Amino acid sequence: MKMKTKNNEQKTVFAARVVNSQDDWLSAEELYELIDKRSVRTTVEKFSSNLSDAFKKGMVNKCRGLDKSGRGRILYAKIADTWGNKLSPSITPFAHVDKPFVQTEQKVKRTNQHQLPAVLDVPLGRLLEYVTDVSEDDLMSVLRDLIYSTPTRELRERYPALEDTLFDIVGGDE
């Protein structure tokens, strides 16, 4: 049975509902075939955009992989709520630790769609927080003090790459 939108249901919410009704990784084209085209006036391109928005809002999982025809596609799956479930590539290997860790949102290229993220897929701040038990506020305070309170000469001597990195980030010239 094809899926229909509910009264006043946003297209992003509907796209997430379609994904969450399935127990497998599916491409936008495969998911598009599951909807009733009479109740949802959309194209596969617009539906794909709704799926991407649903991913950005944390409503579905997303990864690159092969669809059922063997073509490389972006695949979507429901959010899994348990550690180790093969449908949860956004849960890091550290998720079993008692403190909350990371749900990555950046695009990660993988050849195996069921492969769990590597340490390099986790943002550096989250790793520092886990390894050193330093909070984001503490880390930002240290960086703020370094940047705003330390003379440039001392920064260049102690942290030679910091000044160049900061100018690269903000796009300014020396």
Q: Is the dihedral of CA 76, 82, 85, 90 positive or negative?
A: positive
Residue 152, CA distances (Å) to 71, 146, 149, 171 in order: 53, 9, 9, 18
Task: Please state, in angstroms and rounded to a whole number, the distance separating the CA atoms of residues 48 and 28.
Answer: 5
Provide CATH code, domain 11-118: 1.10.10.10
pLDDT tens string for the chain (174 positions)?
788 888 888 889 999 999 999 888 899 999 999 998 887 888 889 999 999 999 988 899 888 887 788 878 888 998 864 334 444 444 333 333 343 434 444 555 555 555 666 777 777 777 777 777 778 888 888 888 888 888 889 888 888 888 888 888 887 654
Instruction: Please tell me the pTM assigned to this model.
Output: 0.47
Residue ranges per structural domain of the chain: 11-118, 136-170
